[in-house]
Structure 1
Amino acid sequence: MATTTGSADTDTLATEEGVRRRDFINIAAVAAAGVGGVATLVPLISQMAPSKDVLAESTTELDISAIEPGQAIKAVFRKQPVFVRNLTQREIDEANAVPLSSLRDPQSLEERTLEGRQNWLVTMGVCTHLGCVPLGAAEGEPRGEFGGYFCPCHGSHYDTAARIRKGPAPTNLEVPDYEFTSDTTILIG
């Protein structure tokens, strides 16, 4: 009987060691698969990051010191035109005099400009109807019936606050995210 007991102890010991070996093999296999998976995913994920030239176009810095009241400039932001206009006091008064209830896309001039800088209007230069570039930013271009911008493609008229007033465009010209980095420089994006 002593041999049977010794044999049972040996079998139990062998089984415990076998489980331990199997556990180690399973853990090692899962770890190797995990390392292989990470080694495969890292290059795939990193190649999806934007390149340096794309990151450079994600913001646009503009010097606005040369823009006189009543003038506007066209610039490029993310490969699309952007208009920066220095509104005159008369244009500000005209925009503020319009009842918001009469607008298709009601927004006040205050909502479309930064606090304390209501004379600086920054908008995307893309008509919200079909994506044409409205006129009115350059000297001598028609500004439409409301003194802002005019889209020659389908006849949308925008006021001095770049709000849609007449024509097929459904919404106002979009105001991108921007901030003043100094009194004469804005950063768009």
Structure 2
Amino acid sequence: MSLVGKIVSAAASSTTRFTTNVSRSTARAVVAAGSTPSSKGEPSSYSGKSTTIAAGSSKTSFTALPTVFKQQRFMSGFAAGPGTEKVPSFADYTKERSQDSSRAFTYFMLGASGAVLTTAAQSSVHGFLTNMAASADVLAMAKTEVDLSTIPLGKTVTIKWRGKPVFIKHRTQEEIDDANGVNLKSLPDPQDDAARVQQPEWLVVVGICTHLGCVPTSDSGDYGGWYCPCHGSHYDVSGRIRKGPAPLNMEIPEYVIEEDKLTVG
């Protein structure tokens, strides 16, 4: 191995100080070679630190520097060579964001659907209630007016109110006295006659038997009031049940008497 090769090899392996005896011309050549750049523009792998030349020989000291252009540079991060590019994955970072976006969209759709359903239900209920509301003619039929002056004493008139028969009886004084003289303890449904009339001479009752809903016959029965032929219930002139399967007295509707005008309902 030549001297220059030894010098270069020693400089590349480590930083080493060494001493050699060479001729003056050789020393100059070495110094010149160390200071001359290479043809490729690369810096020299060594540089002389001190030179001492004596007569007939020279003693040269060199301090070898580690080569820079021969070392592989390791960069933190990604490889720099061709074909070694590594695209980073951000799946772990974007996964949670994607889930949050999906959850927000789901909540939005649920809220929108709920609002639509609520509006539809409100409209349906409003329409249903509007259709169920009574019209003006139905409300007019809910009340029935009767001229009492046209009903003779001792007679019973039947009118229709809300699809039901209503008995209006113009009672005599004898009938009034009989109704008031009844022992209440003997009645299946005890009720005083005065509690069933507004004026003693006028009795107004719904003409339906309280047993099974039949319509009793007026001015008949054992007590001079009404008789139900369906199952044999007898009512007196106050509309109270006196005999038979009916459990209750006949119903008293809501009504008002003003002079000779009766308004039912």
TM class, shorter-length:
0.7 to 0.9
SS for the counterpart of 1:44 is helix
Structure 1 pair 40–105 and aligned structure 2 pair: CA distance change class (3 A): closer
Give the counterpart of 1:145 among 212, 219, 222: 222
Q: What is the match of residue 45 of structure 1?
A: 129
CA RMSD of aligned residues (A): 2.4
Structure 1 pair 46–109 and aligned structure 2 pair: CA distance change class (3 A): same
Count, aligned residues = 157
Structure 1 pair 43–171 and aligned structure 2 pair: CA distance change class (3 A): same
Structure 1 pair 166–44 and aligned structure 2 pair: CA distance change class (3 A): closer
Q: What is the match of residue 178 of structure 1?
A: 255
Q: What is the match of residue 76 of structure 1?
A: 160
Deviations 1:80-131 (A, max 9, x none): 11000011110010010001111001111100001xx111100001111111
User: How do residues 76-155 of structure 1 correspond to structure 2 at under 5 angstroms?
Assistant: 76-114=160-198, 117-136=199-218, 143-155=220-232
Structure 1 pair 150–39 and aligned structure 2 pair: CA distance change class (3 A): closer
SS for the counterpart of 1:126 is coil
The answer to whether 1:156 aligns with 2:156 is no
Identity %: 47
Q: Report the Cα offset of residue 42 of structure 1.
A: 3.5
Deviations 1:4-62 (A, max 9, x none): xxxxxxxxxxxxxxxxxxxxxxxxx8xx8687775555333322212333222211111
Q: What is the match of residue 13 of structure 2?
A: none
The answer to whether 1:56 aligns with 2:132 is no
SS for the counterpart of 1:47 is helix
Structure-2-length-normalised TM-score? 0.53
Q: Write the distance in 2 (CA, Å) between the matches of 1:57 and 1:168.
A: 33
Any stretches of 5+ residues in structure 1 without a counterpart?
1-28, 137-141
**Looking at CA atoms only, which structure, 1 or 2, has the larger radius of gyration?**
2
Structure 1 pair 170–39 and aligned structure 2 pair: CA distance change class (3 A): closer
Partner AA of 1:158 in structure 2: Y
Structure 1 pair 46–111 and aligned structure 2 pair: CA distance change class (3 A): same
SS for the counterpart of 1:123 is strand
SS for the counterpart of 1:46 is helix
SS for the counterpart of 2:149 is coil
The answer to whether 1:66 aligns with 2:143 is no
- Quick one: higher RCO (CA 8 Å, sep 6+), 1 or 2? 1
Segments ≥4 residues shifted beyond 2 Å: 32-45, 51-54
Q: Write the distance in 2 (CA, Å) between the matches of 1:37 and 1:149.
A: 50
Partner AA of 1:152 in structure 2: P
Q: Report the Cα offset of residue 68 of structure 1.
A: 1.9
Q: Report the Cα offset of residue 154 of structure 1.
A: 1.1
Q: Write the distance in 1 (CA, Å) between the matches of 2:125 and 2:243.
A: 52
Q: Report the Cα offset of residue 153 of structure 1.
A: 1.2
Q: Write the distance in 2 (CA, Å) between the matches of 1:70 and 1:39.
A: 55
